[in-house]
Structure 1
Amino acid sequence: MGVSGAIRNKVLYTYIHNLNRIYEKSLVSVTVFSVCLPLRSDHPPDSDMPSSRAVKSLFSVYTAVGCIFLLLSPALASESDHKYQADEQVTLWVNKVGPYNNPQETYNYYSLPFCRKTENTIHKWGGLGEVLGGNELIDSQIDIKFLKNVDRSVICQLELDEAKVKHFKDAIENSYWFELFMDDLPLWGFVGEMPPGKNSENGKHALYTHKSINVKYNKDQIIHVNLTQDNLRPLEAGRTVDMTYSVNWIPTDITFARRFDVYLDYPFFEHQIHWFSIFNSFMMVIFLTGLVSMILMRTLRNDYAKYAREDDDLESLERDVNEESGWKLVHGDVFRPPSSLVLLSAVVGTGAQLALLVLLVILLAIIGTLYVGRGAIVTTFIVCYALTSFISGYVSGGMYSRSGGKHWIKCMILTASLFPFLCFGIGFLLNTIAIFYGSLAAIPFGTMVVVFVIWGFISFPLALLGTVVGRNWSGAPNNPCRVKTIPRPIPEKKWYLTPTVVSLMGGLLPFGSIFIEMYFVFTSFWNYKVYYVYGFMLLVFLILVVVTVCVTIVGTYFLLNAENYHWQWTSFFSAVSTAVYVYLYSIYYYYVKTKMFGFFQTSFYFGYTLMFCLGLGILCGAVGFLGSNLFVRRIYRNIKCD
């Protein structure tokens, strides 16, 4: 009882301690947020300042704008202009440490018992995306000056005791690596090495005690940094080791604009198989669109000819009508409002927004090289999501109105909050796990407040506005055929024409078109590679959209020919199944392509992948539904429904 109680108390203490660390880390964000609140004075305006109210209003506006940039942009630092003078101080920032095979399981650099000169360290607080990416930069206090070589200098003395030795041994056994930054350029290294043989003379865990930093510069700018380590020392309790460093400055002709090229893996991303996959997907698009056009147009042309006959051929027309079957017989039910209309409108509107969002972020990444900055992609995604929320409301409101919906408030709120709250629910579980482990992946409270403010004061109002505009501008019913009062019974069909089978089959070809690109995306995110080929991603995204539309149109046509007029949800889920196959592929990738281990990393891997697949599924579902909707309206527009 006493032992279990002690363990329980230890767990509670660890959890509370980690909560305090997260709270302390978030104080800066909360402080910035408090400054962003509307200014208020409890004192009367100064009589000598006749326009004090106008000045204060103007000051409030500038303060709000400034706060937005403070919250979204990386913090300013001394190296912000990336230009130095001789002997000017260059800061080496320590960032994080963690198991090499677990990319998301990262901790504060000083969670390992590294020594440091003083306890009064300087933190470099980053922007929104940088914090969400689990970065916490701390001044290493290592004396580095521009163009000044250092042969070998002592950073500090590390006194090893039993606890420190055990901590370092655990880190070395789990292949812990660390990340440093100098002038926004990353450096990586391992904490130590495992013994080559348990029975050998050197069979002890060894700690790297010397860091050799090579810095390439061009005039007054740093171009490249490289870290090598040596001077391994065995870990023994009661021993004191000197932690040392050296710095070597090397001139180079490489320009500042090309300094990130060294981090890009050109042979991997521009491999022949990548080009072949793009070509293969493009040829599949041509074949699929041609096949769809040929089959459907040929069939529909004959159907149109029958329904376009004049009254002078009544006998032939009556014979044809008696023999009719298929999609033409359900014209009185095909535009019947689907079940759960509010939910369908919300997911279609959200998917339309996500499609525009992905296209916009890809274009910005192509133009602005967003891969260079820490967290730049995440920040861009959040800001663009908030600004494009009008689209989700507009599409959702117009669709809901055209279908005769009455619950406007429910539709507006669900459209604005569906996807963010799904992500929030998954993120909350992952954040709880990260706090328990004391990981940098835990999102600080202040950052949560900032994200909520962006959603509550930008995204949510824009979605509501879009719903109102969509309802009034594009919400008038315009169905080509009138809906009958009594629903038509749906006949029994073969198993392969059921909505479930059609939906599952509908995602195979779209998944095949993005299968190879998913490998590159997963490898970039989970295996420390910088994804920079956004031109490839743009082509793959456009191919995915075209293939999804074609496949869902074919599935909808087969369903209507089976006299099943419940095509709305079927067309949506037919495209959503693409995300199901991506998630199944992620399970294969986890077990075959990675060496991840532990509850923490497994939770984050499948949690992040679930969020990604939810977004992908809603996006594809909306594209598939909108394409099928246009197709259905087009084919029923040219027949005589009366």
Structure 2
Amino acid sequence: MVGIMGSSWVWLFLSLIVSQVQAFYIPGWSIKSYKDGERIPLMVNKVYSDNTQLQYAYYDLPFVCPPAGRTASGLLSGQSISLNLGEVLRGDRIKISDIDLTVGHENECRFLCDQQVTRRDLRRAKELVKDGYVVEWIVDNLPGATSFVTVDKSRKYYAAGFKLGFTKYDSSTGKPRYFLNNHHTIVIRYRAAPGRPGESGAKVVVGFEVYTKSIGPNNKRENGCPVELQDIEDNFELAMPPNKTEELSMLEQHPSNHYDHLDEGDDEDTITIPYSYSVYFREDNSIEWDKRWDLYFVNQEEGSRIHWLAIINSLIICGLLSGIVAMILSKTIRTEIKGYKEGSIEAGRKMKSAPRSLDQDKEVDDQLDDAPEDDALEDVTGWKLLHGDVFRRPQYGHLLAPLVGSGTQVLFMAFGLIFLSAVGILNPSFRGGFLSFGFGLFVLAGLSSGYFSAKVYKGFGGVNFGKNALITACFFPGLLFALVFIVNLFVWAQASSTAIPFGTLLAIALIWLCIQVPLVYLGSWYGHARTPAWENPTKTSTIARQVPQQAWYIRSLQAILFAGLVPFTVIFIELLFVFQSVWQDKSGYYYVFGFLSVVSLILIVTVAEVTVVTIYVQLCSENYHWWWQSFAVGGGSALWVFIYSIWYYFFKLHITGFISSMLFFVYSFMACCVYGLLTGTVGFLAVYVFIRKLYA
């Protein structure tokens, strides 16, 4: 029965993984080609801004053209595209649009719709334009881009998305005026498809550019399209006169006048926004299909020197620490151990050379065999005095064990994501893949979480492995889930696509409770029942040694802050790029994983070395309370990362609104918890191995 249930859970999990990776492909392998006359679907996604963390589905905006339900190439406009878990979590809401892109057919102008909007809708549009919202459309899995050139004008590059509108300041009054972009010029760049499809005339898309224009109602129109698309003098301003009946006469008398009375008048007053678009196809053989995403990163590649500087900086810090650790291990500790052993031998010789009876000789030999360390340590100080206390069980060890277990789970997930990204499996075209794979790896790593938690728990003398497994499976994931749920209560009220749908939250909870919890329990059972406990090299004495007064710089809080500053300096420069990618570019993808992989490995080594040095200094001060201290010192850099996020919020971001600020700080806190758990576990395991070798 257990085997049947286990296999059913495995099949359920595999089916979920398969459903999540439907958009997966490696660049250069899965190529979609189109023939002349074939329609390329244009999909609309969402709008987002650097000034707020609230995103909105494009078709949820009341002032854009709604889908008309037209059918083309087997697709119905307005039809939702199935999304993987990562896409849902990052706020994507992708649907088919009415815009017609037929290969080889260009349209100088095509009417889309006349959208009637109310005064309330105009206020909504004005708020979004004021906040600098950007629109994301998708063609052949490429986001619509705004084209730029580098400073030296030698290379072209793309910025994903295009502006919803723009702001101008009135020259006479100095007040801002807000305009809506209601005409879009779409340029599809293509080249011949590789291989046989290209020989038969098939083409592949290598670029998707969108150029926006704002065309006012005074521009004459034919068949819904403006006559003039080049020299546009009148833009479409997001304004409405206070009295709708006076609109026509006021426009005739003052054609250049503008109004900013959206807060006055009836909310149900309406105005018409005309939408149109142009389509052009341009052959471009300078771009290879598997290199088409490079244009989105040309401008960012200029920071490669900064990345190399960060790596050199990290290597220098890591090298200095490695030298210190090597000196401690090869010189200081070996010298002290040698003196310690010589003291033991000398003490034994003196005891044996003293005059005594045969029975006394036997008694002395037994004492030397049973407790040579006690006699030898009478004349020494520092860490050598702690052989009987260094492996004493810590307070609240039943909480430390689950944290270490969850830390190994995060460590497994992090290395898996970095590896998959570095080899190109996770790439920009796999939208949402990073989050989807991260969630899947986290769930699968429940086995390692339960195993290591059980091993540490058993080493502390714990016997109730079921309770330990339950705490391990629910404590940290439950904290993250609770924070996400509470934040979503606020975001749901804003009708934002940033909010995770309730059905998705329910699915995540079911996967957590029905798949991860059993995996944690299985790993915990194996680690507790099927493997021996970690044996310590020294026995713990009955009476605990009193810890002397500690120097100010090695006390708990100071040691955590000082030691945590060193790993923070290793990741400081790279952290700036990560924050920019997540909070400003909204790309959800960090493209320089080669650099990030190197820095991550240096970070792991640095955390281990810093924690070992810190705990060694603590042991030399005769403080044997290292269990929790090693975990806290290893995760100490998370405090500096959170402080850095506060600085970044005030000096780099321009976020407005309570909800957006709350999202930033809550998600930053969650990220720091994950990071602290990972580095804390690295520090704990490194110190445990070090102390076992030290007292062996």
Normalized against structure 1, the TM-score is what? 0.85
Q: How far apart are the structure 2 equivalents of 1:277 and 1:235?
A: 46
Name 1:224's counterpart in structure 2: 207
Name 2:60's counterpart in structure 1: 110
Tell me if structure 2 keeps the 8 A contact 1:423–1:611.
Answer: yes
Give 1:323 deviation, angstroms.
Answer: 3.1
Tell me if structure 2 keeps the 8 A contact 1:394–1:467.
Answer: yes
Q: How far apart are the structure 2 equivalents of 1:105 and 1:433?
A: 14
Q: Which amino acid aligns with 1:125?
A: S
Work out which of the residue numbers 423, 443, 447 in structure 1 matches 2:504: 447
Q: 1:75 to 1:622 in 2, by over 3 A?
A: closer
Give 1:271 deviation, angstroms.
Answer: 3.0
Q: How far apart are the structure 1 equivalents of 2:238 and 2:407?
A: 55
Q: 1:346 to 1:633 in 2, by over 3 A?
A: same
Name 1:295's counterpart in structure 2: 328
Tell me if structure 2 keeps the 8 A contact 1:330–1:565.
Answer: yes
Tell me if structure 2 keeps the 8 A contact 1:371–1:377.
Answer: no
Name 1:600's counterpart in structure 2: 659
Q: How far apart are the structure 2 equivalents of 1:497 and 1:117?
A: 65
Tell me if structure 2 keeps the 8 A contact 1:217–1:223.
Answer: yes
Give 1:295 deviation, angstroms.
Answer: 2.9
Q: How far apart are the structure 1 equivalents of 2:431 and 2:395?
A: 44
Q: Which amino acid aligns with 2:184?
A: K
Name 1:212's counterpart in structure 2: 185
Q: How far apart are the structure 2 equivalents of 1:60 and 1:624?
A: 34
Q: How far apart are the structure 2 equivalents of 1:268 and 1:616?
A: 26
Give 1:201 deviation, angstroms.
Answer: 12
Q: How far apart are the structure 1 equivalents of 2:437 and 2:533?
A: 35
Tell me if structure 1 keeps the 8 A contact 2:377–2:384.
Answer: no
**Aligned residue runs from structure 1 range 394-405, under 5 A:** 394-405=451-462
Q: 1:618 to 1:203 in 2, by over 3 A?
A: closer
Q: How far apart are the structure 1 equivalents of 2:20 and 2:430?
A: 16
Name 1:623's counterpart in structure 2: 682
Q: 1:422 to 1:201 in 2, by over 3 A?
A: closer
Work out which of the residue numbers 355, 377, 383 in structure 2 matches 1:327: 383
Name 2:418's counterpart in structure 1: 362
Give 1:243 deviation, angstroms.
Answer: 0.7
- Worse overlay, 369-378 or 65-74: 65-74
Question: Residue 538 of structure 1: SS of its match in structure 2?
Answer: helix
Tell me if structure 2 keeps the 8 A contact 1:189–1:228.
Answer: yes
Q: How far apart are the structure 1 equivalents of 2:125 and 2:347?
A: 92
Name 2:547's counterpart in structure 1: 490
- Worse overlay, 257-266 or 537-546: 257-266
Q: Which amino acid aligns with 1:504?
A: L
Q: Which amino acid aligns with 1:541?
A: S
Name 1:555's counterpart in structure 2: 614
Name 2:237's counterpart in structure 1: 234
Question: Residue 46 of structure 2: SS of its match in structure 1?
Answer: strand
Structure 1 residue runs without a partner (length 5+): 1-57, 638-642
Give 1:456 deviation, angstroms.
Answer: 2.7
Determine if the alignment matches structure 1 residue 261 to structure 2 residue 289.
Answer: no
Give 1:504 deviation, angstroms.
Answer: 2.1
Give 1:621 deviation, angstroms.
Answer: 0.5
Name 1:91's counterpart in structure 2: 41
Give 1:186 deviation, angstroms.
Answer: 0.8
Post-superposition CA distance 1:561-608 (Å, at most 9, x none): 111111000111011111010000011111111111111211111111
**Aligned residue runs from structure 1 range 222-621, under 5 A:** 222-230=205-213, 231=215, 232-237=235-240, 239-253=271-285, 254-265=287-298, 267-268=300-301, 270-309=303-342, 311-314=345-348, 315=350, 321-367=377-423, 368-528=425-585, 530-621=589-680
Structure 2 residue runs without a partner (length 5+): 1-6, 70-76, 145-160, 193-202, 216-234, 241-269, 352-371
Q: 1:559 to 1:201 in 2, by over 3 A?
A: closer
Work out which of the residue numbers 42, 46, 69 in structure 1 matches 2:18: 69
Give 1:558 deviation, angstroms.
Answer: 1.2
Q: Which amino acid aligns with 2:164?
A: V
Q: How far apart are the structure 1 equivalents of 2:648 and 2:61?
A: 31
Question: Residue 169 of structure 2: SS of its match in structure 1?
Answer: coil
Give 1:206 deviation, angstroms.
Answer: 2.0
Q: How far apart are the structure 2 equivalents of 1:146 and 1:543?
A: 49
Q: How far apart are the structure 1 equivalents of 2:623 and 2:104?
A: 76
Tell me if structure 2 keeps the 8 A contact 1:109–1:178.
Answer: no
Give 1:59 deviation, angstroms.
Answer: 12
Tell me if structure 1 keeps the 8 A contact 2:450–2:520.
Answer: yes
Q: 1:437 to 1:117 in 2, by over 3 A?
A: closer
Tell me if structure 2 keeps the 8 A contact 1:393–1:465.
Answer: yes
Q: Which amino acid aligns with 2:188?
A: V
Name 1:183's counterpart in structure 2: 140
Two-structure CA RMSD over aligned residues (Å): 2.7
Give 1:622 deviation, angstroms.
Answer: 0.5
Post-superposition CA distance 1:386-433 (Å, at most 9, x none): 112211111111111122112312210111222211210110121111
Give 1:75 deviation, angstroms.
Answer: 10
Tell me if structure 1 keeps the 8 A contact 2:54–2:660.
Answer: yes
Q: 1:357 to 1:425 in 2, by over 3 A?
A: same
Tell me if structure 2 keeps the 8 A contact 1:99–1:106.
Answer: no
Give 1:173 deviation, angstroms.
Answer: 2.0
Tell me if structure 1 keeps the 8 A contact 2:67–2:78.
Answer: no
Tell me if structure 1 keeps the 8 A contact 2:565–2:640.
Answer: yes
The percentage of counterpart residues that share the same residue type is: 31
- Worse overlay, 447-456 or 433-442: 447-456
- Worse overlay, 442-451 or 210-219: 442-451
Q: How far apart are the structure 1 equivalents of 2:531 and 2:8?
A: 40
Give 1:449 deviation, angstroms.
Answer: 2.8
Give 1:64 deviation, angstroms.
Answer: 8.0
Q: How far apart are the structure 2 equivalents of 1:64 and 1:361?
A: 19
Q: Which amino acid aligns with 1:532?
A: Y
Tell me if structure 2 keeps the 8 A contact 1:71–1:450.
Answer: no
Q: 1:561 to 1:62 in 2, by over 3 A?
A: closer
Q: How far apart are the structure 2 equivalents of 1:466 and 1:62?
A: 19
Q: 1:514 to 1:67 in 2, by over 3 A?
A: closer
Q: How far apart are the structure 1 equivalents of 2:174 and 2:470?
A: 68
Tell me if structure 2 keeps the 8 A contact 1:108–1:440.
Answer: no
Q: 1:403 to 1:204 in 2, by over 3 A?
A: closer
Q: How far apart are the structure 2 equivalents of 1:183 and 1:473?
A: 52
Tell me if structure 2 keeps the 8 A contact 1:365–1:371.
Answer: no
Q: How far apart are the structure 2 equivalents of 1:201 and 1:152?
A: 35
Question: Residue 411 of structure 1: SS of its match in structure 2?
Answer: helix
Aligned length: 578
Q: 1:64 to 1:375 in 2, by over 3 A?
A: closer
Q: How far apart are the structure 1 equivalents of 2:489 and 2:596?
A: 33
Question: Residue 354 of structure 1: SS of its match in structure 2?
Answer: helix
Greater radius of gyration (CA): 2
Q: Which amino acid aligns with 1:385?
A: F
Give 1:199 deviation, angstroms.
Answer: 3.0
Name 2:692's counterpart in structure 1: 633
